[in-house]
Copies of this chain bind each other. A is one copy, B any other.
């Protein structure tokens, strides 16, 4: 799988979807051209994530869109996902690799150059880097806590895997993340909380494509 095409990355969180199902949000994002979907839904039970995951697998497979599961290798294996994304407090990348095998995709969150190089050394296929601008999605107060695009650029320089910026990213500020060298951007609320998730995905993708044309 060519991760260099991962320009837009949706992380699911039904609690901010204004009553719409995660299935509906994912379908709308796919219609808008999303490149990859991550099942997160941290606040739900394993059973709920397993059942939702099976539906998302069906939806994403029908459109040849990769599906990544946050944190849990067992749920990823149970729903035949393409891979797992782990944070710094989840199972180590090396353990995940051992359980998933060489073909699976493993992403790891990193906020510093040290975290980024350690994750890649351990076998991560891509990095989720941030929070770039700070975010309210993960209970990080305000936008002042973001690592900023300078840090994104330093991490891009330090590793040889795709970097996906995450945290507070919108169609208005995504271009700066791509200009810093990121392959793509991951969002929750920009798509999930949008009045029209399909249009929101298209607008986000267009803001990135525009940068690409200038590079």
A125-141 contact mask (Cβ, 8 Å, vs B): 1 or 0? 00000000000000000
- Is A102 at the interface (CB under 8 A from chain B)? no
Q: Are B99 and A71 in contact, with the CB atoms below 8 A?
A: no
Distance between Cα atoms of A45 and B88 in the complex (Å): 10
Q: Which of A4-12, A33-41, A74-82, A189-197 is the contact stretch?
A: A74-82
Distance between Cα atoms of A74 and B104 in the complex (Å): 15
Number of chain copies forming the complex? 2
Nearest CB of chain B from residue A95's CB, rounded to whole Å: 5
CB within 8 Å for A89 and B50 given contacts A78-B99, A99-B77: no
Nearest CB of chain B from residue A156's CB, rounded to whole Å: 26
Size bin of chain A's contact surface:
20 to 34
Interface members, chain A 72-103 (any B CB < 8 Å): 72-75, 77-78, 88-92, 95-96, 98-99
- CB-defined contacts of A46 to chain B, threshold 8 Å: 71-72, 89-91
Q: Are B74 and A73 in contact, with the CB atoms below 8 A?
A: yes
Nearest CB of chain B from residue A36's CB, rounded to whole Å: 21
Per CB-CB distance, the 10 closest pairs between chain A and chain B, nearest first, are A73-B74, A45-B89, A74-B74, A46-B90, A78-B95, A47-B89, A46-B91, A50-B91, A47-B90, A74-B99
